Structure 1
Amino acid sequence: MDQHSPSPLNEQQRALVLHVKRQILQMRQLRQFEWSPPSRPNSESAPEMQPEGESKVPLTVTMPEIQQAMLDQIFYDPVVLKHPPSSIYQHAFLKKVIYMIEEEGLYDISEDLMELFTELLMTVPKRPEEGGPPLMPCFKSYSLDRNCQKVVTVMEEQTTISSGTTGLRTWEASFWLAEYLIAHPEFVQSKNVVDIGCGVGFLGIACAMLGAKKVALTDGNMDVLTMAQKNIGYNKAPCPVSATALDWENFTNEQIASLEAEVLILSDLTYDPTNIVPLVTVLKAILVRGVSAFMSSAIRNPQTFIDFFAHIRKECVGVQIDEVILDGLDHLFFFDEETVQTVKVFHLHFP
């Protein structure tokens, strides 16, 4: 066993810790976890080389310095302690790391890491399938960069449907649109952004972090709006962010005018055929000349998608719909590879 004390991290080790941190904050499923940083095709950095005469040591989370760095920079990070991932997830992650250390047999398990694992072991509830209580809402944090300098933290459900709505969790299409806007922040910078069907608010708060002038999160479900309002408070947005009720079938011209919309963002709103007419009704009122809309959607039912575009072209005469090319985006978020859908992003505007 290696008994030496952890040493300062080099560039590659820091990159590994940050890669692990982003996955933990997002609570990526452990069966899909990436335990080493993936190679980036556009990266100019050369692979780390050991000094002459020394053997190359594989970069792994089991190394003593990585174990300590994960504790210091992830589990004991004041921001993470304030808005932690679920204790069930933290326990499962540490259990996996301990198993990896024991299986590899090269290093000791950090005493601090074992102490934290033991604390969680004594306090963490059982999972529902093991007879424990239902999963409760928990914090998930999504980094808008690879260094975790801009992070959006939201409380969200861990189940697909809660309180009769799918709006209490962040969906994959939001990540694709967020990645596009991260690559092109000029579309929201210094603009009044209105999030239509905001859900828990991840996408709108991300726009605030990207330089929007003002952001309005809107939804017609009061449980969703309550969650979105709380999530505004968990983030230190650099611009005003509000949560506002907007009923797609019962709104006033005064409500629309008060939004002062310059850019609309919409994510995963076309999955339900019954949403199409109300959604287009509210878009017709807001999407006027001078206002742009960026829309992302997972293509689950192609016919619903076709019907939506047919209806919006009919009601918003002259609107231009451009599909956005997503190739080459820097993927900052982690998707469920087993349930991933085809996602498309569109820019709707009047020429």
Structure 2
Amino acid sequence: MEGEGSMNDSKQLFYLKLAFLATEPPNCILSLAIEAGGGSITPQVQNFIVKECLGETMKETTANNRAYIRGILQKIISFVEASSVSVVDCLYEELAHYLTTGKEDLQGINHRICREISFLSSDLNGKDCSNSVNLVASLLCSSNMLEGDTGCSLWPSSLFLSEFILSYPEIFTNKSCFEVGSGVGLVGIALNHVGASKVTLTDGDLSSLENMKANLELNKLCLNVASDITCPSDQKVECRHLAWELATKAELKDQQPDIVLGADIIYNPECIPHLVRVFSNLLEEKSFGEVKKEAPVAYIATIIRNLDTFNYFLNVACESRLSVVDITSNTNVPNLLPYMCTYDRSSVHLLKVSVSE
């Protein structure tokens, strides 16, 4: 039993570190720190934060990251000071450092905060936590969605779709994959990780596209945009500007993907006819001479925020001879992000789309 307790303590500290690097909200970090300390933020937990959490965080990171760290440290110190536990000196020293940095004026891409999202293996039982990480994705994300920077935000549907990809790599390995509305590029990073033969990411917003390219470079993936780029073929990802309403049939049919993907793309009724047309062209069955290629399929992860809008999508898809099947209940997608309190996967639906027979 003592061994089980030690393993659980180790897991809680591990979750605390991952949540810190993922820039989860202060209340989440505080809760995990208290849980790791068995009801209080012990000196052991405080030293862990300094050594493991801050030790993994570059001092020269974005100003928003430094402001985030400063806020976390202030919250933790305030909580400890109000308890019977002593604050370790190095925690005060770290706060002093971050109080004098991160207040500079932000410019351009520095408006983003860098989030490190770690996807774990599907089974942590009996495993060394430090060896349980399947994929780590570093993402520059919007620090303020209220400004309308939605394309640079990290949404639950993209997290769920990435979990699906990592849990069922055999579906995507050696397949040509094309994502519609790629946002921060997380799904593309997951596709590259499981060995997709080709990954094409698209977005209709130019600001989102530039941020996506920055994220791919941050994750050491080459952008397949120039012939003089030299890198392993399994590290190339293509980025394209794709406005659904302007995409031509020839442009879409030229892609010939095996799998089409999308996360949180069913939200605007005005865009739905254009979205369905894009999917219809991408999913059209292809043939090479006498050899018929396997019919492409699409996987869409979505939250149904407005039932009328979702039903409208289903109707337009049906009129375009697209079959849309909700496979959420019969597809076991393990929770690979158990440390993320902000991630509510319960409301995400996984849809499989194909051309009707």
Q: What do the CA deviations read for 1:182-234 (whole angstroms, capped 9, x no partner)? A: 32222222222211011121222122223322211101111111111111000
Q: Scaled by the length of structure 1, what TM-score is found?
A: 0.78
1:193 corresponds to 2:168: no
Cα distance in structure 2, aligned partners of 1:60 and 1:125 = 34
| 1:70 lines up with 2:54 in the alignment | no
Structure 2 match to 1:93: 72
Runs of 4 or more, structure 1, over 6 Å off, are none
Q: 2:265 and 2:213 mapped to 1: Cα distance? A: 20
- Residue 130 of structure 1 corresponds to none
- Residues 346 and 320 (structure 1), Cα distance of their counterparts in 2 relative to 1, 3 Å cut: closer
TM-score, normalised to structure 2, is 0.77
Q: Report the equivalent of 1:131.
A: none
Please tell me the residue identity of whatever aligns with 1:196: V
Moved more, 192-201 or 83-92: 83-92
Correspondence for 2:7 among 11, 16, 19? 11
Match of 2:128 in 1: none
Structure 1: 5+ residue stretches without partners: 1-8, 40-56, 128-134
Three-state SS of the structure 2 residue aligned to 1:115 is helix
- The count of aligned residue pairs is 315
Indicate the SS of the match to 1:347.
strand
1:73, 1:213 → 2: CA distance?
36
Contact 2:160-2:345 at 8 Å conserved across structures: no
Q: CA RMSD in A?
A: 3.3
User: Aligned-pair distance for 1:282?
Assistant: 0.8
The change in CA–CA distance for 1:37 and 1:223 in structure 2 (over 3 A counts) is same
Match of 1:22 among 14, 18, 21: 18
Distance in 2 between the 1:264 and 1:18 partners?
A: 35
What's 1:5 paired with?
Answer: none
CA–CA distance in structure 1, aligned partners of residues 236 and 40 of structure 2:
40
Distance of 2:92 and 2:102 partners within structure 1 = 15
Partners of 1:30 and 1:139 in 2: how far apart? 16
User: Is the CA contact (8 Å cut-off) linking 1:199 and 1:225 kept in structure 2?
Assistant: yes
Counterpart for residue 158 of structure 1: 143
Note the alpha carbon deviations across 1:135-167, whole angstroms, 9 max, x for none.
9211112111164452111111122254x5521
1:345 is matched with: 350
The 5 Å alignment of 1:101-140 reads: 101-106=80-85, 108-125=86-103, 136-140=111-115
2:289 matched residue in structure 1:
none
Could you report, residue by residue, the CA deviation over 1:3-28 in whole angstroms, capped at 9, with x for unpaired residues?
Answer: xxxxxx95334322220122122222
Give the alignment partner of residue 179 of structure 1, picking from 163, 184, 205: 163
Contact 2:298 2:354 in 1 (8 A): yes
Q: Secondary structure at the match of 1:251?
A: coil
* Alignment CA distance shift 1:281-1:93 (3 Å): same
CA contact (8 A) 2:328 2:349 kept: yes
- The 1:145–1:63 alpha-carbon spacing in structure 2 relative to 1, beyond 3 Å, is same
- 1:291/1:327 Cα in 2 relative to 1: closer, same or farther (>3 Å)? closer
Q: Deviations over 1:274-327 (max 9, x none)?
A: 110111111111013421211111111110000011101111x25352332266
| SS at structure 2 position matched to 1:319 | strand
Aligned residue number for residue 319 of structure 2: 314
**AA at the equivalent of 2:326:** D
Contact 1:193 1:216 in 2 (8 A): yes
Q: Residues 60 and 66 of structure 1 are in contact (CA less than 8 Å); yes or no, is this contact kept in structure 2?
A: no
